[in-house]
A and B are shown apart, each in its own frame.
Chain A
Amino acid sequence: MVNRIVTGAHYGIKDWLIQRVTAAIMAVYTIVFGIVYVVTCPKDYFEWSYMFQPQWMRTITLLFFLSLFWHAWIGVRDIFMDYIKCTALRLGLQVLTILVLIAYALWTIQILWSV
Chain B
Amino acid sequence: MNTKPRPKHLDLTKIRLPLPGFVSILHRVSGLGMFLMIGVLLGVLSLSLESPQGYAQAAKCLTGWLGKTLVIGLVWAFTHHFIAGIRFLLLDLHVGSDLSAARKSSAAVLVLSVVLTLIFGVSIW
Is B89 among interface residues, defined by CB-CB distance under 8 A? yes
B92 touches A111 (CB 8 A): no
A111 touches B39 (CB 8 A): no
Identify 14 residue pairs between A and B in the complex whose beta-carbon atoms are under 8 Å apart, listed by A's number: A20-B89, A23-B89, A24-B89, A27-B85, A27-B86, A44-B55, A46-B52, A49-B49, A72-B31, A76-B31, A79-B32, A111-B42, A114-B49, A115-B49
> How many A-B pairs fall under 8 Å by CB?
52
**Chain B residues engaging chain A, CB cutoff 8 angstroms:** 28, 31-32, 34-35, 38-39, 42, 45-46, 48-52, 54-56, 82, 85-86, 89, 92
**Chain A residues engaging chain B, CB cutoff 8 angstroms:** 20, 23-24, 27, 30, 44-46, 48-49, 52, 68, 72, 75-76, 79, 100, 104, 107-108, 111, 114-115
B28 touches A111 (CB 8 A): no
A76 touches B35 (CB 8 A): yes
B92 touches A104 (CB 8 A): no
Interface centre among A30, A45, A76 (most CB of B within 10 A): A45
B55 touches A48 (CB 8 A): yes
Q: 11 new A-B pairs (CB below 8 Å) besides A24-B89, A44-B55, A48-B55? A: A23-B85, A23-B89, A30-B82, A49-B49, A52-B49, A72-B34, A75-B28, A75-B32, A75-B35, A108-B42, A115-B49
Bound complex: CA A72 to CA B34 (Å): 9
Which of B38, B50, B55, B85 is A104 in contact with, Cβ under 8 Å? B38
State the 3 A-B residue pairs at the shortest beta-carbon distance, nearest first.
Answer: A45-B55, A45-B52, A111-B46
Q: Which residues of A contact B50 (CB under 8 A)?
A: 114
Bound complex: CA A20 to CA B92 (Å): 10
